[in-house]
Amino acid sequence: MATVTYDHATRIYPGTERPAVDALNLHIEDGEFLVLVGPSGCGKSTSLRMLAGLEDVNAGHIYIGDRDVTDVQPKDRDIAMVFQNYALYPHMSVADNMGFALKIAGTPKAEIRQRVEEAAKILDLTQYLDRKPKALSGGQRQRVAMGRAIVRQPQVFLMDEPLSNLDAKLRVQTRTQIASLQRRLGVTTVYVTHDQTEALTMGDRIAVLKDGLLQQVGTPREMYDTPANIFVAGFIGSPAMNIGTFDVKDGKAQVGHAAVPLERSVLDGLTEADNGKVSIGFRPEALDVVGEGTEDAFSIRVNLVEELGSDAFVYGDLLSSDADLHSGSSDQVIVRVDPRNTPMKGDTIHVTIKPGQAHVFSAATGERLS
């Protein structure tokens, strides 16, 4: 086992000026499960491939334990990688696929068989060892790819969106298996995904990237409760956080007909660049549905009600406001409501933000103020 450290690691692809990964500083503890997450093109897979040795590091260093592996060949880094597309040999059996790397390394046959059988038992693949990959389901093939990594007993596991090719139900099942397997084996793991739900449910810590820049690192709870900027706030959480920019008057943000009090530290943090405005975010569950005329309530016209059984979400428009209030990439406001008492399309509901549940950001920089 080993730690992993990115020290100002930078990757610039030929013919481009902007780095794909820009001076990444990140330390991953021994035995930790760290998830790199972000939208397509943010540099997460490039970061993983730099650690694997599949991409050159143009500046900075990468360490596995105390060893600088920046210029070390991939085969000498003592890592094992699980790819999105399984990358299994179709003409080999499951057992041969899992043990192939050991065979190439000259490991004795008896030891290969022992390691393969141990991994197959962990992954519930024992009965499939003599099958070819074409005779397996997608989930079983992904477990074979996992087994191929496990038998090598590496210092670090690298996983590049390994669940993307699975159907929705199997993804949920497999992600719990991977997370519990990693905790059982205790191997340092770097996992790349674009799915923030996977990140929240699997990782000991999450690192959010955007345009090659590290935005925030923290536990799932820290990322959800105290996002460092508007991007992280809108990216982490499902449904997405409602975020809008509002005028500040007399120490309060004007949200529709409501006035949301701002802390003194927030007011002190405003600059001329903010131009008398703040950006406020609040999650769907941070809103209480109240009666008309309630103090500090604002009104929402219902466009759609999404019923999920245990939960229900209202999508609507904020009334009586010139503010650009939206939810993630949508221009609608989302409110979690009682699934046994849902409004109808076209209704108007009145909501207030629960005390302490508002996230306040600079309108100019997007950085957290509250």
Per residue in 192-228, pLDDT (tens digit) is 999 989 999 999 999 999 999 999 999 999 999 999 9
Q: Which of 304, 305, 283, 303 is nearest to 351 (CA)?
A: 283
Which tokens go with 151? 């038998």
Per-residue confidence (pLDDT) for residue 293, from 0 to 100: 83
- List beta partners, residue 326: 243
Q: Tell me the CATH number of domain 242-362, given options 3.90.226.10, 2.40.50.140, 3.40.47.10, 2.120.10.30.
A: 2.40.50.140
Least confident of 192-196, 256-260, 339-343: 256-260
Give the mean pLDDT of 144-169: 90
Per-residue confidence (pLDDT) for residue 322, from 0 to 100: 54
Is residue 57 over pLDDT 80? yes
CATH 3.40.1160.10 fits domain 4-233? no
Asked if 61 and 27 touch (Cβ cutoff 8 Å), the reply is no
Which of the pair, 85 or 322, is modelled with greater confidence? Answer: 85
Average pLDDT of the chain? 91
Is residue 329 over pLDDT 70? no
Asked if 53 and 38 touch (Cβ cutoff 8 Å), the reply is no
Angle between helix 138-151 and helix 109-122 axes, rounded to 10 deg: 130
Is residue 296 over pLDDT 90? no
Give the end-to-end CA distance of the chain in Å, rounded to a whole number: 39
- List beta partners, residue 206: 35, 218
Share of the chain above pLDDT 70, in %: 97
Radius of gyration, CA atoms only, the chain: 24
Give the mean pLDDT of 244-270: 86
All CATH 2.40.50.140 domain ranges in the chain, comma separated: 242-362
The amino acid that residue 124 corresponds to is: D
| Angular region, 20: left φ>0, alpha ψ -120 to 50, beta rest | alpha
Is residue 66 over pLDDT 90? yes
Whether pTM exceeds 0.75: yes
Per-residue confidence (pLDDT) for residue 39, from 0 to 100: 93
Which of the pair, 250 or 28, is modelled with greater confidence? Answer: 28
Is residue 321 over pLDDT 60? no
Per-residue confidence (pLDDT) for residue 252, from 0 to 100: 87
Give the mean pLDDT of 33-53: 95
All CATH 3.40.50.300 domain ranges in the chain, comma separated: 4-233
